[in-house]
């Protein structure tokens, strides 16, 4: 039980930090960015939850399979994002050098 409590605590911290990272390039339109990030995460989790829920066959296998597949997908997504990282996505450094920032 203690492990679950610590895990859920860490997930709360992780989600806040990941949302902050997703919002970083959207500072000038923070309200719209927050709405888009929230909507996308909600609709994606809803769609994936429906797929896993519809595969229920009175065993725990669909849930375990869903955990495994989605865990691997999240690891692959994070690795892809790290490989394709853009250091200055909005070109802010060039704007500062030109005096427009």
Q: Over 90: is that where the pLDDT of 68 sits? A: yes
By C-alpha distance, which of 85, 78, 87, 90 is closest to 26? 90
Give the model's confidence band at 24: pLDDT under 50 very low, under 70 low, under 90 confident, else very high: confident
Instruction: Give the three-class secondary structure for 94.
Output: helix
Cα–Cα distance for residue pair 41/71, rounded to 1 Å: 15
3-state DSSP: the chain helix, strand, coil percent, rounded to 5? 80, 0, 20
Q: What is the pLDDT of residues 29-62, one digit of tens each?
A: 888 888 988 899 899 999 999 999 999 999 999 9
Cα–Cα distance for residue pair 86/71, rounded to 1 Å: 24
By C-alpha distance, which of 1, 45, 39 is closest to 22? 39
Cα–Cα distance for residue pair 50/56, rounded to 1 Å: 10
Predicted local confidence at residue 70, as pLDDT: 94
């Amino acid at each position: 039980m203690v492990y679950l409590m610590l895990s859920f605590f860490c997930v709360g911290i992780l989600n806040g930090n990941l949302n902050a990272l997703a919002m970083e390039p959207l500072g000038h339109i923070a309200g719209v960015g927050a709405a888009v990030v929230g909507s996308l995460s909600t609709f994606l989790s809803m769609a994936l939850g429906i797929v896993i829920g519809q595969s229920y066959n009175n065993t725990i296998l669909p849930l375990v399979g869903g955990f495994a597949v989605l865990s691997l997908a999240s690891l692959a997504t994070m690795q892809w994002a790290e490989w394709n990282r853009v250091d200055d996505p909005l070109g802010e450094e060039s704007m500062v050098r030109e005096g427009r920032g």
